[in-house]
Structure 1
């Protein structure tokens, strides 16, 4: 189904999120903290509760609850496969993206030698930086940094051919900044990495709720995301190209599976959480068109983004028009997620968030959001970082205007 600005079914969307009925200080809560974790769609909540209600079990048992657990995991892999356009047997789950990245970095590092190099960026969340730095330190590898252009708020690619060279083994790049919303053009990274034989590892935790994912079309080798950013439970997800997964040797118990993807899933998984992944992904599909679930997911994300971006533009314009408010953002022609980072002269970001919650029942967060290097480069960490507002499918024009009006009342 296709929607215009005036026909987006916001009521239908909001009815699917139980958390939106919450009140605080006698006002309905407005959630702008989606970049730190979205609210959970009701179908995912039901799936989690139902799994636990009827009896859960561990794997490989000769009884129904064990078989049902295996089916839950299989269905979740198939849904993720459609979400990321990968094979189901390339999908693994973990506690979170950070934990998975540390495990993958350590496993890959077994094959690297002193003198090999890793490339990371100044824009990334530290979850796609520190695991590679720690592994590099353990193995004697050199780390090279792609810098941020402080004027354009994008990555500076002028030295990319020197940074990614014949010694490079891994290029780790975030697909979009979780702090300021800049969407990164992966193509130059992918093209250069392939030319020198390096692996491209992409952090899609912030991007996946807003951009259709196609791992192979994007030439990504290892793609990571997290279900709690797209209306599901706290589960980390990775899709590793089969030929790489086959060779990967994660640290694991001797009794753990040696086959993929299970060999990366150390210990007993969060089965009830995994049960919530498929419904979270199918939330997108209900708003899309197409014969296959994959087509409906892509179409649904595109339709939802029209709504989110319209609201994001309204919020950017409204905040930018307020004297004393500085919005940190790339130029209008640079693609961005519906994520807005800003500061208010003379007021600590953390204090802004407290006032918004206590006086207006608006929930959002302050800080560097683990993109600490970006905060240093843009010189905001010493002043408490940013206030960050994120738009979601359940966000409304009224909520945006409410936030703009609240900020106006503070200056």
Structure 2
């Protein structure tokens, strides 16, 4: 087997001290990626040069303003939207709870929210809480269990004139399944519902364009794509303008997205976010990084041991290079421990926070392998050798 993508992965890896200073093979990226040195330096520099808050005429406060403005511009480029439509928060989960609560002010008993079996619980529990408080109904779209892909026939059957929100994962953090976000969005809009997209996993593997998709709300986590720990969201201004936010009275209300940022932002993390997006623009401007990771994914699929049961799409079509594996006669935790003994990081779980897949995963759990643009063909081969032992 040989790589089919021309890509200087060694040059990319040289930008990560974590990849250059030890022999660990990082396949745990679905839970959080490694961080380029430039991101780490930006966070450190901001803590040194911008230990202040907004609103002052002094130098450190002005530096904070520059950091926030720069982060909004970078986030807008990453999401393909206006800087005015970006929202920063503690993490994706917190943002999703906050935005869903604002949306819920207008929901009534009997209104319907649609989620799917492929969703991380951060995209489900906020709506379960909304239903508890408002009397709204949460409906769950089924999947084709043979491929762990969304059942669009079932999705259409779940929609009605009472549907208010269709919340779904663009890419499943568990199985790597890609869902046609534009198709789901169009279906939601045809029933007058909002399209609410969890792009937490997708943002690390596909190019995001909220305007092309037609998203009403999109949430993601920069620490999944080489950034710091914080949350990032897009909200369509026409939608946000209709919601009453939970905020302190002196906090900004213009543009409308600012109303959903509570308290002091993590300015040092925003400096890191800007560098993370700058990094992506430098290594993946032509999509070569994503293509490299997909080629590695095919290499892994071609060499899986016979006792590995793949939960998810059987080929690289309709997926990102994240793989969920169950084993006929081995507990996933034991397999993960074997990998750790070979300096390979990969996690085992009975759900990976995707509660809709627990029955499909089974009692022995499953191993999750996440390939990324900084992994190598040799790392895939070492992993396959360890899986076979």
The normalised TM-score by structure 1 is 0.90
- The residue number in structure 2 matching 1:87 is 82
1:117 aligns with one of 108, 112, 117 = 112
Task: State whether structure 2 residue 305 is matched by structure 1 residue 317.
Answer: no
Tell me how far 1:242 sits from its aligned partner. 1.3
CA contact (8 A) 2:311 2:361 kept: no
Q: What is the Cα deviation at residue 195 of structure 1?
A: 1.4
Q: 1:158-197 to 2 correspondence within 5 Å?
A: 158-197=153-192
| Maintained 8 Å contact 1:124/1:374 | no
Residues 169-196 of structure 1 deviation map (CA, whole Å, 9 limit, x = unaligned)? 1110100111111100123321221112
User: Do the aligned residues in 2 keep the contact of 1:225 with 1:237 (CA within 8 Å)?
Assistant: yes
Contact 1:223 1:240 in 2 (8 A): yes
8 Å Cα contact 1:226-1:236 kept in structure 2: yes
The equivalent position to 2:289 in structure 1, one of 287, 295, 304, is 304
8 Å Cα contact 2:298/2:316 also seen in 1: no
- Corresponding residue for 1:287? 283
The answer on 1:369 being equivalent to 2:369 is: no
CA distances 1:68-120 after superposition (whole Å, capped 9, x unpaired): 11111111111111111111000011111000000001000001111211000
Separation (CA, whole Å) in 2 of partners of 1:405 and 1:152: 25
Could you tell me how far apart the structure 2 residues matched to 1:204 and 1:55 are?
30
Q: Counterpart of 2:46 in 1: which secondary structure?
A: helix
The equivalent residue for 1:356 is 339
Among 130, 135, 138, the residue aligned to 1:140:
135
Alignment of 1:10-409 (within 5 A): 10-23=9-22, 28-259=23-254, 260-288=256-284, 296=285, 299=286, 302-319=287-304, 322-332=305-315, 334-357=317-340, 359-367=341-349, 368-376=351-359, 378-380=360-362, 382-383=363-364, 385-409=365-389
Distance 2:185 2:310 in 1: 30
Asked if 2 retains the 8 angstrom alpha-carbon contact of 1:22 and 1:29, the reply is no
Q: CA deviation at 1:287?
A: 3.1
- Note if contact 1:326-1:342 (Cα within 8 Å) is conserved in structure 2: yes
1:145-185 CA-partner distances (Å, limit 9, x unpaired):
11111123111111333312111111101001111111001
- Verify the 8 A CA contact 1:182 1:334 in the aligned structure 2: no
State the distance in 1 between where 2:118 and 2:177 align. Answer: 9
1:335/1:116 Cα in 2 relative to 1: closer, same or farther (>3 Å)?
Answer: same
- Check conservation: 1:59, 1:66, Cα contact below 8 A: yes
Q: Is the Cα contact below 8 Å between 1:190 and 1:220 reproduced in 2?
A: yes
Query: Residues of 1 paired with 2:317 and 2:145: CA distance?
Result: 14
> Does the aligned pair in 2 maintain the 1:148–1:374 contact within 8 Å?
no
Contact 1:125/1:177 (CA < 8 Å) preserved in 2? Answer: yes
Q: When the two structures are aligned, how many residues end up with a matched partner?
A: 385
Q: Deviations over 1:179-225 (max 9, x none)?
A: 11110012332122111211000000000011111111111110111
Q: Distance in 1 between matches of 2:247 and 2:5?
A: 53
Partners in 2 of 1:305 and 1:365 — Cα distance? Answer: 22
- TM-score normalised according to structure 2 size: 0.95
Does structure 1 conserve the Cα–Cα contact (< 8 Å) formed by 2:71 and 2:273? yes
Say whether the 8 Å CA contact 2:50–2:64 is kept in structure 1. no
Supply the distance in 2 between the matched residues of 1:332 and 1:326 (Cα, whole angstroms): 13
For structure 2, the residue ranges without an aligned partner over 5 or more in a row are none
- Asked if the contact 1:90–1:245 (Cα under 8 Å) also holds between the matched residues in 2, the reply is no
Please name the residue that 1:292 is paired with: none
| Structure 1: gaps (5+ residues) | 289-295
